[in-house]
Structure 1
Amino acid sequence: MALNPRFAGQKLVPSGSGKTLHTLEFFLDYVCPFSAKQFKTLYEIIPLVKQKYPDKVQFIFRQQIQPWHPSSTLVHEAGAAVLRTNPDKFWDFSERLFEKQTDFFDVNVVNEARNKTYERLAKIAGDVGVDSKKVYQLLEVPDKPDKDGNTNIGNGVTDDIKIMTKTNRLVGVHVTPTVMFNGVVEGGISSSFTKEDWDKWLAKNIT
């Protein structure tokens, strides 16, 4: 599936080259424990991919909001804000956010004002070298109507979240994590994959 250029930071080509033969897409939710588990191992195999499969595979991180966790929208908005601010840091930000994902679980946000949650997310972006002020400016929701009296105005990344959601709906992905290989759901890859499992899978499928 094509990647909108505004979300270019979601693509990771371990070789550093734009020439690729295969595409692995990962539909992940920042507040899904199984997504965190899969992302951690995925990030650890990047050196392996660079060594064994240069110019043969690229990874795409598809942000998959799971609405039964209200904070899921907020954390993915932060990912979208990082893509706008410093796309080269998107994967570093994602790694850090997954490490801190429990801070944004239901119980830990239920009594927190929305903009306060955004402040914490912007700080995480700052921890990996992204301008936290710019991230927060994109996330902050005004507490007053706009000039037309509209009180349902969203924030600076609302349109980006709409595009991401529409894109994922087109391929009917529901469960996180879901992996697609060259545009087809790959049910053989699970969140329990170890580095050894990935090594075997890549050797079999990346030619």
Structure 2
Amino acid sequence: MALAPKFAGQKFAATAAPTLHTLELYLDYVCPFSAKMFNTIYTSVVPLIQKKYATKVQILFRQQIQPWHPSSTLVHEAGVAVLRLQEKKFWEFSKALFDDAKSYYDINVVGESRNQTYARLAKLGASVGLEEEEMLKLLWINDKPAEDGSLNIGNAVTNDLKVLVKMNRLVGVHVTPTVVFDGIVENGISSSFTGEQWEEWLEKNVA
């Protein structure tokens, strides 16, 4: 599936030239299995692609909200805010968020307000070089009705988040993580894949 220009930061490509293959990763920031896969991708697969497959494969990070974890929406809104502010920081922010993901699991957010969670996420953004106040401004929910009386006012990234949800629904992804290779779900890849297993898989599947 194509990637809209406003979500360009979700793409990792080692070269500006077109690549032969596309690896799409459907990940949820508060899914421990997604965290496991992302960390291996970030620390092992990305350097391997840069070294050996720069013109052959690109990676797309597809943000997959899992609504049975209410904070999933909030953390993915933070990812969208990063795309708005500094798209080149998206992967670095994602690494920081996965590293701190447990602090956004159900039991750790149940006692705080939505805006308090956003405030923590904005501080996390600042840790990778984003402007904390600007990020919080995009995420903040006003506690007063809109001028037309609407109470479901959302925030500044709501419309972008809706687009991401629509895109994922079109391909029917449910489980996280899900890997799609050249448009086809690749069930042979597990979240427990080591760097060595990824290297073997790429050697076999990337022309």
Is it true that 1:149 corresponds to 2:149 in the alignment?
Answer: yes
| CA deviation map 1:79-138 (0-9, x unaligned) | 000000000000000000000000000010001010000000011111001111111100
Aligned partner letter, 1:34: F
The amino acid of 2:28's aligned partner reads D
Task: Write the mapping of 1:37-116 to structure 2, written as runs, cut at 5 A.
Answer: 37-44=36-43, 45-116=45-116
Q: How far did 1:16 drift? A: 2.8
Residue in 2 that maps onto 1:33? 32
Q: Distance in 2 between matches of 1:49 and 1:149?
A: 51
SS of residue in 2 equivalent to 1:66: coil
Q: Residue type of the partner of 2:32?
A: P
How far did residue 18 of structure 1 move?
Answer: 3.3
Q: Deviations over 1:156-188 (max 9, x none)?
A: 000011000000000000000000000100001
Q: CA deviation at 1:52?
A: 1.0
**Amino acid in structure 1 at the alignment position of 2:37:** Q
Q: Tell me how far 1:192 sits from its aligned partner.
A: 0.5
What SS does the aligned partner of 2:60 have?
A: strand
Query: For each residue in 1:48-104, what CA deviation from the matched residue of structure 2 results, as whole angstroms up to 9, or x when unmatched?
Result: 111111211000000000000000000000000000000000000000000000000
The runs of 5 or more residues in structure 1 that have no matched partner are none
Instruction: Name the SS for the 1:152 alignment partner.
Output: coil
RMSD of aligned alpha carbons:
0.7
Report the AA paired with residue 29 of structure 1.
D
TM-score by length of 2: 0.98
Residue 201 of structure 1: SS of its match in structure 2? helix
Q: Distance in 2 between matches of 1:176 and 1:11?
A: 18
Gaps of 5+ in 2: none
TM-score (norm 1): 0.98
Tell me how far apart the structure 2 counterparts of residues 11 and 52 of structure 1 sit (CA, whole Å): 18
CA displacement, residues 12-52 of structure 1 (integer Å, 9 cap, x when unaligned):
00x23232110000000000000000000000121111111
Does structure 1 residue 162 correspond to structure 2 residue 156? no
Separation of aligned partners in 2, 1:25 and 1:92? 18
Question: Which residue is equivalent to 1:191?
Answer: 191
Task: Give the letter aligned to residue 41 of structure 1.
Answer: T
